[in-house]
Amino acid sequence: MNEKFYSLKKEKQDKMINGAMQIFARYGYRHASTDEMVRVCGVSKGLWFHYFENKPGLYSFVASYGLKYAMLELSMHQIKNGTDYFSVRYSIEECKMVMMEKYPYLPLFLYSILREEDPDVSELIKEPRQKYAEALSKIMLQADYSALRDHEDYLLLTDMLDYTIEALMNDSYRSPVFAPERYLMEVKKHLSAMEKLL
Amino acid sequence: MNEKFYSLKKEKQDKMINGAMQIFARYGYRHASTDEMVRVCGVSKGLWFHYFENKPGLYSFVASYGLKYAMLELSMHQIKNGTDYFSVRYSIEECKMVMMEKYPYLPLFLYSILREEDPDVSELIKEPRQKYAEALSKIMLQADYSALRDHEDYLLLTDMLDYTIEALMNDSYRSPVFAPERYLMEVKKHLSAMEKLL
Amino acid sequence: MNEKFYSLKKEKQDKMINGAMQIFARYGYRHASTDEMVRVCGVSKGLWFHYFENKPGLYSFVASYGLKYAMLELSMHQIKNGTDYFSVRYSIEECKMVMMEKYPYLPLFLYSILREEDPDVSELIKEPRQKYAEALSKIMLQADYSALRDHEDYLLLTDMLDYTIEALMNDSYRSPVFAPERYLMEVKKHLSAMEKLL
Amino acid sequence: MNEKFYSLKKEKQDKMINGAMQIFARYGYRHASTDEMVRVCGVSKGLWFHYFENKPGLYSFVASYGLKYAMLELSMHQIKNGTDYFSVRYSIEECKMVMMEKYPYLPLFLYSILREEDPDVSELIKEPRQKYAEALSKIMLQADYSALRDHEDYLLLTDMLDYTIEALMNDSYRSPVFAPERYLMEVKKHLSAMEKLL
DNA sequence: AATGAATGAGCTTTCATTCAT
DNA sequence: GATGAATGAAAGCTCATTCAT
């Protein structure tokens, strides 16, 4: 089924992917309406169902696509400025900002996928979602945890950072225009605060 | 408007409140359907609108009711086993488990209220939501922060704990049967882990 | 069935009749809601159905009652100021203003009954409606038609007057407060205009 | 919004317009149900809302359309048999019978539009309704009023004729089959009666 | 007698999905 | 491949009517 889609012009593919990402990311699976996707990307209603059997099919495609694309970008992204935990964690967020050039709503969409619990799709996206989580973990595991390692149960600390960063991301998208630099600055501030603690 | 509802038999009031809480907590405001409330608590469709002007009216009533009930329970709940931050934080979760005896979905609903952003209701519940948040803060402020106070930006640490507890709660409701003891054990484990760190 | 109603205190009877008349007259049969009757006259919902089997039953009762009451008033009303057609026609409108003392919406209701075409009730009220029309005709036939009689098909002229008077009545009720004197003045003006023509 | 509708096949457009006209004309705005339109013209429920935002939108479209169509027919209609008031008045009714070939309920609908007072739509149709009234006035003003002009307050006479004609129209639609010839004969009879009087 | 809680059919409207062109 | 007209199930809500108290 997806081969058909891939034989479209890349430009149109991305127009549709961006339209779906935006609506899914902002409203969640169930609340995203096909009419709104038509509105934001100008591709006719029938075409969505021509390429994707139904709404779950569309969601699972776009989610898988987005997760894979994110993993690709992550794998290509050079980690600069040191390999300690905090630098690596920050570097991932920098990488997300790069993704935005092609798929502006992808960073928000990635979080919404991880939180999506609608029974119609949660099973469908289980696997790519998990792989993405593992890819992130893998990158993080390559980091230098010397600053944290001494603490028994230090995973809780890293979880806290993850939650904080997610909240900052959500706030950023809520503002009229997403400003990547401002977002990155906020992330850095919070990471440093934690770093100082240890 | 609400006087009518309060003149119902308490038993029926609670049946309706529980029905609404369950559906609102699980699906969020917009996705909660009256039909489903009819299904889970056997009260006819028309009756919901006999007592509550419309869906926002119902939501704001049940949310206010739930928040007030939670505050009442919190105010009555004796804090045992010390007044240090971690004991108090745990005590609040114990208290939530008590609420469940009357309103099984209330703890989950409380979180969903705090996250609810639907423009149709967010303004309506602003005040009680804030009061509840303040009540929780007040309880926490009476705790002994000596273990945390020394850390600059220690608020980040407490936020992390809040996020963690919320996630554990969500996980608990996702399992076929909510097991309060198991939940409390998980909370205790995580709190202790953090405590040890300091 | 109506005996039950008649055994109520006259005061309450009239309260209910006035409530029903007001709502039926202003909104027509189908658009009149029992809830609104409850609101305007404070008599509980169940009672309406206790005395009147259903909505058509209520309508047919109140319509018959109103028509009969109007006929009674008409039969008792002394015609002053001459017996020529125009004086008699005016006198009928004076009589309607008298009815308003007990049933403020009756004059409007009488017209709305004549125009009511809802299939649920049109058959039910056919007879009293016709009797009322005949009673009016009878009164008019006793008038002195010497000013009109010479005209072949003079009935058309009288129809026109009837339509004009109905329109004036409707306009009067539409104003915030119905002012009987103002209404009667308008009627007189129009009748005189026609009189001059002949 | 209406461009979408106009791009439909003319045949289907007219099927929908006729369905809406029939139901609106017979029951008035508020009492006209989309279900009944579905029944009389076989076009599915959802489609009405695909083309028209909501019920007021549908009403205002069909009303404007009907009024414009009527004005067009009136402007094209040749007035035969003299230009005196009575001939012109009769000619308008002939013209309405022509409209019926395409839109059988249009003549009845035109009257119901002029009487429509539902607050949801009265403002929406104010302008076309007024234009139609003006167009009719304009036609009538070109008539030869020499037979009427001498009478002070002769406007009352013309109003009476208008009321009479409207009543005849309503009666005609109430009969099982609308018979245009019969209707026209009745109109002619009444007009002549008045004419003789002057 | 009197109340108003309770019901369910029916209303307007939305939306995923199908299908003719 | 591409469109958008067309469908119908389901949503929130209204209202005549029933029924327990």
pLDDT digits (tens, 9 = 90+) for C81-96: 789 999 999 999 999 9
Query: Could you tell me the pLDDT band of residue D37, with boundaries at 50, 70 and 90?
Result: very high
Burial of C40 (C-beta count, 10 Å sphere; 0-12/13-18/19+): middle
- Rounded CA-CA distance C125/C88 in Å is 27
Residue of A nearest to B115 (CA): A167
CATH code of the domain made up of C3-197: 1.10.357.10
Residue C187 has pLDDT above 80, yes or no: yes
The Cα angle at residue A73 between residues A72 and A75, in degrees rounded to 5? 65
Residue D84 forms beta bridges with which residues? D144
User: What is the signed CA dihedral for D144, D147, D148, D151, rounded to 10 degrees?
Assistant: 140
Of A117, A163, A196, the CB nearest to B160: A163
Residue D114 has pLDDT above 90, yes or no: yes
Do A156 and B30 make contact, defined as CB atoms within 8 angstroms? Answer: no
Reduced to 3 states, what is the DSSP secondary structure of residue D187? helix
Range A91-106 average pLDDT = 96
- Rounded CA-CA distance D49/A59 in Å is 27
- CB within 8 A of B177, min separation 6: which ones? none
Residue D53 has pLDDT above 70, yes or no: yes
- Sequential DSSP letters for C42-66: ---HHHHHHHSSSHHHHHHHHHHHH
Strand E proximal to A34 Cβ, under 7 A: yes
Do D156 and C163 make contact, defined as CB atoms within 8 angstroms? Answer: no
Range A72-101 average pLDDT = 91
What's the mean pLDDT when you consider all of chain A? 89
Q: Given phi > 0 = left and psi -120 to 50 = alpha, else beta, which region is C91?
A: alpha
Cβ atoms of residues C114 and C166 within 8 Å: no
Long-range pairs for B15-19: beta carbons < 8 A, 24 or more residues apart: B15/B41, B15/B42, B15/B43, B16/B41, B16/B43, B16/B47, B16/B48, B16/B51, B17/B62, B17/B65, B17/B66, B17/B103, B18/B103, B18/B104, B18/B105, B19/B43
Q: Please report, rounded to a whole number, the percentage of residues in chain D having pLDDT higher than 70.
A: 99
Q: Note the pLDDT of residue A34.
A: 92
Residue D104 has pLDDT above 90, yes or no: yes
Range D124-152 average pLDDT = 91
Range A83-89 average pLDDT = 92
- Rounded CA-CA distance B2/A26 in Å is 35
- Rounded CA-CA distance B139/B89 in Å is 9
Range A181-189 average pLDDT = 92
Query: Could you tell me the pLDDT band of residue B143, with boundaries at 50, 70 and 90?
Result: very high
What is the radius of gyration, based on Cα positions, of chain D?
Answer: 18
Q: Note the pLDDT of residue C52.
A: 92
Torsion D142-D145-D151-D154 (CA) sign: negative
Residues of chain D found within 8 Å of residue C161, distances taken between Cβ atoms: 160
Query: Could you tell me the pLDDT band of residue C1, with boundaries at 50, 70 and 90?
Result: low
Q: Note the pLDDT of residue B96.
A: 97
| CA distances in angstroms from A111 to A28, A67, A116, listed in the order given | 11, 10, 9
Residue C16 has pLDDT above 80, yes or no: yes
Residues of chain B found within 8 Å of residue A117, distances taken between Cβ atoms: 174
Cβ atoms of residues C190 and C168 within 8 Å: yes
Convert the pLDDT of each residue in A145-175 to its tens digit.
988 887 777 887 787 788 779 878 988 998 8
Query: Could you tell me the pLDDT band of residue D130, with boundaries at 50, 70 and 90?
Result: very high
For strand E, give the nucleotides within 7 A of a protein CB. 1-20
Residues of chain D that touch chain C, judged by Cβ-Cβ distance less than 8 Å? 30-31, 151-153, 156-157, 159-161, 163-164, 167, 174, 190, 193-194, 196-197
Range with the poorest average pLDDT among A58-67, A93-102, B154-163, D102-111: B154-163
Å from the C176 CA to the E14 C1': 40
Q: Note the pLDDT of residue C24.
A: 94
D144: phi then psi, degrees, rounded to nearest 5: -90, 110
Range C123-149 average pLDDT = 92
Of C117, C154, C163, the CB nearest to D163: C163
Residues of chain C found within 8 Å of residue D30, distances taken between Cβ atoms: 31
Neighbours of D184 (CB within 10 A): 17
Q: Note the pLDDT of residue D1.
A: 54
Å from the D49 CA to the F6 C1': 11
Strand E proximal to C39 Cβ, under 7 A: no
For residue A6, give how far its alpha carbon lies from the nearest alpha carbon of chain B (Å). Answer: 34
Q: Note the pLDDT of residue B1.
A: 54
Q: Note the pLDDT of residue C115.
A: 86
Name the residue closest to the C1' of F3 by its CA: A44
What's the mean pLDDT when you consider all of chain B? 90
Strand E proximal to D32 Cβ, under 7 A: yes
Å from the C133 CA to the E3 C1': 39
Å from the B44 CA to the E8 C1': 8
User: What is the signed CA dihedral for C88, C93, C95, C96, rounded to 10 degrees?
Assistant: 150
Residues of chain D found within 8 Å of residue C164, distances taken between Cβ atoms: 156, 159-160, 163
For strand F, give the nucleotides within 7 A of a protein CB. 1-20
Residues of chain A found within 8 Å of residue B190, distances taken between Cβ atoms: 156
Q: Note the pLDDT of residue C163.
A: 79
DSSP code of B176? S
- Rounded CA-CA distance D120/D115 in Å is 14
Q: Note the pLDDT of residue A1.
A: 53
Q: A and D: touch, per 3+ CB pairs < 8 A?
A: no
Amino acid letter, A75? S
- Rounded CA-CA distance C66/C106 in Å is 7
Q: How far apart are the first and last CA of chain D?
A: 52
| CA distances in angstroms from B181 to B75, B96, B169, B178, listed in the order given | 22, 12, 12, 9
- Rounded CA-CA distance D13/D47 in Å is 12
- Residue B29 host element (H or E): helix B10-31
Domain-wise residue ranges, chain C: 3-197
Strand E proximal to A175 Cβ, under 7 A: no
3-state SS, B40-86, equals HHCCCHHHHHHHCCCHHHHHHHHHHHHHHHHHHHHHHCCCCCCCEHH
Q: How far apart are the first and last CA of chain B?
A: 52
Residue B129 has pLDDT above 80, yes or no: yes
Residue B153 has pLDDT above 60, yes or no: yes
pTM to 2 decimals? 0.85
Convert the pLDDT of each residue in C157-183 to its tens digit.
788 788 789 888 988 998 888 999 999
